[in-house]
């Protein structure tokens, strides 16, 4: 029901809306990580767009500048900038990037030669008052920077309005996921991916939220569809965690071989959508708190990730956990050890760790591993 064509239609709609707004002077700001508060960008009248790439075409070009054993997400994102092959990046007026992992941080230094880029100096921990204070300062700096760039001053009222819209968006994404909490999951992971995708530019969010709502209503019908239920019934319920699943090859393999991804903990999934910004306090402080708490493996320690996993395993009646990490991603690959221990010892669920890149040359081997994992869950 929610195939590629479903998403393509929405992408086209979003593109048109964006062109219209750009003609009236709106700036486009490219972002890379989950720590950048998009509310700030939107409150400055600009349009945020996430730029992490999931395709392999631009990687060879990137390898002319970057080491080969670097995370594919970083190489792909940089390669698109070099080749100018990403329409979203092409249309961006400037970039806001977070100092997360070493690979991204240093790649951004090179990227700054290709596009105007400002780096958000991210503290490495969310556990101390000092780190919160410095992050708040950093957000004030970015706020001023955005105001200078757009010529629009960000008011607290405007910021609060954006916080509300983004909270609604996050809550709606959670509602989509929640369709899989029941005894019978109603969505395949690839469908969740399409329904909740930002489809490019984050412009005209109320329309995007409306589309998600329509999808939710349509999916409810499935609870009466016996044919659908028959196909879904015996599929082991998988929770996907790890690096952002920018490239879909593993997601596809899991569902083609008889599993169903009921929930995704990674960036773009419930790690980010699962948490709203407090609407009652000072908006800047609320933003700083919410965003610094992002359960990314770049943070040390990163206790919130285990808490999220625990909650999801119970809420989504998860049979097994698959962790997808990209080759060269030290933060997630190392944290996988801690995650595996928690999953198998504390939560008593089977766990499979897959490390791969964007290429197709290990599909046969991955298929066997995923199939064997699903066999042991059956």
Partner 1 sequence: MNNRFAGIDIGSRTIELVVVDEAGKIVRSLQADTGYAPMRTAEKLLNGESFDRIMATGYGRNLFEVAFDASTVTEIKAYARGVRAFFPTALAILDIGGQDSKAIALSDAGKVRKFEMNDRCAAGTGKFLEIMAQALNYHLDSFGEAALLSTKQLTINSMCTVFAESEVTTLITGGENRNDIAHGLHVAVVQRAANMLRRVWTGGPVVFAGGVARNTCILHLLEENIGQKVFVPEDPQMVGALGAALLVSDDV
Beta strands in 176-283 (DSSP E): 237-242, 260-264
Which residues, in sequence order, are bridge partners of residue 314? none
Q: From the CB of 369, what's the least distance to partner 1, in Å?
A: 6
Q: From the CB of 358, what's the least distance to partner 1, in Å?
A: 13
Q: From the CB of 304, what's the least distance to partner 1, in Å?
A: 27
Q: Which CB atom, from 307 or from 375, has the smaller least distance to partner 1?
A: 375
Q: Which does 74 bind (CB under 5 to 8 A by kind): ligand SF4, partner 1, none?
A: ligand SF4
Alpha carbon of 224 to those of 51, 212, 347, 361: distances in Å?
39, 20, 32, 41
Per rule CB under 8 A, count of chain residues that contact partner 1:
14
- The 8-class DSSP code of residue 201 comes to B
Q: Which does 291 bind (CB under 5 to 8 A by kind): partner 1, ligand SF4, none?
A: none
Which residues, in sequence order, are bridge partners of residue 242? 324
258 lines the binding site for partner 1 (CB under 8 A): no
Q: If you search the block for the tokens 């499935």, which residue do you land on?
A: 222
361 lines the binding site for partner 1 (CB under 8 A): yes
137 lines the binding site for partner 1 (CB under 8 A): no
Q: If you search the block for the tokens 């709203």, which residue do you land on?
A: 276
Look at the alpha carbons of 339, 129, 164, 144 in this order and tell me if their dihedral is positive or negative.
negative
Residues 301-360 that bind partner 1 (CB under 8 A): 344, 350, 355
Q: Which does 364 bind (CB under 5 to 8 A by kind): partner 1, ligand SF4, none?
A: partner 1
Nearest Cα to Cα of residue 332 among 118, 101, 65, 122 = 101
Q: From the CB of 305, what's the least distance to ligand SF4, in Å?
A: 10
Residues 100-129 that bind partner 1 (CB under 8 A): none
Distance CA 324, CA 355 (A): 6
Q: Which does 376 bind (CB under 5 to 8 A by kind): ligand SF4, partner 1, none?
A: partner 1
Chain residues that interact with ligand SF4, rule: CB under 6 A: 33-35, 52, 71, 73-74, 100-101, 103-104, 243-244, 267, 294, 296, 298, 326, 329, 331-332
Instruction: Name the segment binding partner 1 (CB under 8 A); options: 195-203, 258-266, 285-293, 367-375.
Output: 367-375
Q: Which does 24 bind (CB under 5 to 8 A by kind): partner 1, ligand SF4, none?
A: none
Q: Which CB atom, from 1 or from 52, has the smaller least distance to ligand SF4?
A: 52
Q: Which CB atom, from 261 or from 354, has the smaller least distance to partner 1?
A: 354
Which residues, in sequence order, are bridge partners of residue 320? 238
Q: From the CB of 351, what's the least distance to partner 1, in Å?
A: 8
Distance CA 271, CA 288 (A): 16
Q: From the CB of 279, what's the least distance to partner 1, in Å?
A: 45
Buried b (16+ CB within 10 A) or exposed e, 297-331: bbbeebebbbebbeebbebbebbbbbbbbbebbeb
Q: Which CB atom, from 170 or from 353, has the smaller least distance to partner 1?
A: 353
* CA atoms lying within 13 Å on the CB side of residue 141: 13
Instruction: Give the max Cα distance, the chain.
Output: 59
Distance CA 359, CA 363 (A): 9
Q: Are 313 and 349 in contact (CB under 8 A)?
A: yes
User: Interface with partner 1 by CB under 8 A: which residues?
Assistant: 344, 350, 355, 361-362, 364-365, 368-369, 371-373, 375-376
């Amino acid at each position: 029901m929610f195939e590629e064509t479903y998403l393509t239609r929405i992408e086209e709609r979003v593109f048109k809306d964006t062109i219209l707004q750009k003609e009236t002077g709106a700036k486009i700001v490219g972002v890379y990580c989950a720590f950048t508060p998009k509310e700030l960008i939107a409150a400055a009248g600009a349009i945020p767009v996430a730029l992490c790439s999931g395709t392999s075409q631009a990687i060879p070009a990137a390898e002319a500048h970057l080491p080969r054993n670097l995370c594919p997400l970083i190489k792909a994102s940089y390669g698109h900038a070099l080749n100018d092959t990403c329409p979203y990046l092409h249309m961006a007026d400037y970039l806001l990037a977070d100092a997360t992992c070493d690979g991204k941080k240093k790649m951004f230094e090179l990227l700054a030669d290709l596009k105007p880029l400002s780096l958000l100096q991210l503290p490495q921990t969310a556990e101390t008052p000092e780190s919160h204070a410095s992050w708040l300062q950093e957000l004030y700096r970015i706020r001023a920077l955005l105001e200078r760039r757009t010529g629009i001053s960000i008011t607290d009222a405007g910021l609060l309005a954006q916080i509300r819209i983004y909270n609604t968006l996050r809550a709606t994404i959670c509602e989509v996921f929640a369709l899989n909490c029941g005894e019978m999951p109603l969505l395949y992971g690839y469908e969740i991916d399409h329904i909740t995708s930002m489809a490019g530019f984050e412009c005209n969010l109320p329309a995007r939220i409306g589309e998600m709502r329509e999808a939710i209503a349509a999916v409810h019908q499935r609870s009466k569809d016996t044919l659908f239920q028959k196909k879904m019934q015996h599929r082991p319920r998988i929770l996907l965690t790890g690096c952002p699943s920018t490239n879909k090859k593993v997601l596809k393999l899991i569902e083609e071989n008889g599993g169903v991804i009921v929930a995704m903990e990674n960036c773009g999934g419930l790690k980010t959508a699962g948490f709203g910004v407090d609407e009652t306090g000072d908006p800047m402080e609320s933003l700083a708190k919410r965003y610094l708490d992002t359960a990314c493996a770049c943070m040390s320690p990163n206790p919130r990730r285990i808490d999220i996993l625990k909650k999801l395993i119970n809420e989504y009646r998860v049979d097994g956990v698959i962790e997808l990490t990209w080759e060269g991603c030290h933060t997630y690959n190392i944290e996988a050890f801690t995650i595996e221990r928690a999953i198998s010892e504390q939560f008593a669920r089977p766990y499979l760790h897959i490390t791969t890149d964007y290429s197709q040359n290990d599909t046969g081997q991955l298929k066997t591993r995923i199939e064997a994992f699903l066999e042991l869950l059956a």
